[in-house]
């Protein structure tokens, strides 16, 4: 079932990517999760949160992303079900999992992928919880795959 809902297109960086490179990829594709490769091997992942935490420590946006990435690859088998994915996400406190098939990474499964697949009412409810206030004091629900 995971193969039906996961994102099959993996946007990735390399160990030579800078913080700016990864930030621009996140912006371009409206994503908050970038797996990192080195010589064809997955070596880590960078989240939008990692970028935010890096800002206080960087000297330049051209610094390597490597010191700021998580080297712990949290994966799920493509033949697993959504319940197992939720258990892993809960245990590891993450919102995205790399999907493996025969020891190859073949996709990314996000919490929003599961919410969209299982129940649109759940996503609508979550959207009502998250509000962004604009400068005029108006509120609007703003939540999408980037937030989840």
| pLDDT tens for each residue of 67-84 | 999 999 999 999 998 889
Spatial contact of 90 and 103, defined as CB atoms under 8 Å apart: no
Checking if the pLDDT of 130 tops 90, the result is no
Residue 34's pLDDT is what?
96
Outline where 58-146 has alpha helix (H): 82-92, 111-118, 120-129
Q: What percent of the chain has pLDDT over 90?
A: 52
Q: Is the pLDDT of residue 90 over 70?
A: yes
Pick the CATH number of 2-141 from 3.10.580.10, 2.50.20.20, 3.40.630.10, 3.10.20.30: 3.10.580.10
Task: Return the higher-pLDDT residue of 144 and 7.
Answer: 7
Which pair of tokens denotes residue 24? 């621009």
> What mean pLDDT value characterizes the chain?
83
**pTM, rounded to two decimals:** 0.76
Contacts of 62 (CB under 8 A, 6+ apart): 18, 19, 20
The predicted structure's pLDDT at residue 107: 96
Tens of pLDDT along 45-65? Answer: 999 999 888 888 888 889 899
d(CA 81, CA 104): 18
Question: Domain locations in the chain?
Answer: 2-141
């Amino acid at each position: 079932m995971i193969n039906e809902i996961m994102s099959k297109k993996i946007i990735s960086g390399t160990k030579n990517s800078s913080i700016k490179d990864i930030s621009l990829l996140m912006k371009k594709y409206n994503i908050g999760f970038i797996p990192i490769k080195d010589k064809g091997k997955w070596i880590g992942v960078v989240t939008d949160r990692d970028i935010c935490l890096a800002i206080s420590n960087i000297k330049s946006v051209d610094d390597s992303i490597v010191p700021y990435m998580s080297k712990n690859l949290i994966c799920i088998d493509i033949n697993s079900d959504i319940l197992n994915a939720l258990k892993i996400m809960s245990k590891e406190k993450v919102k995205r999992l790399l999907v493996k098939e025969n020891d190859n990474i073949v996709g990314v499964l996000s919490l929003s992928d599961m919410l969209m697949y299982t129940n649109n009412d759940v996503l609508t409810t979550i959207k009502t919880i998250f509000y962004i206030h604009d400068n005029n004091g108006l509120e609007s629900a703003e939540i999408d795959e980037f937030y989840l």
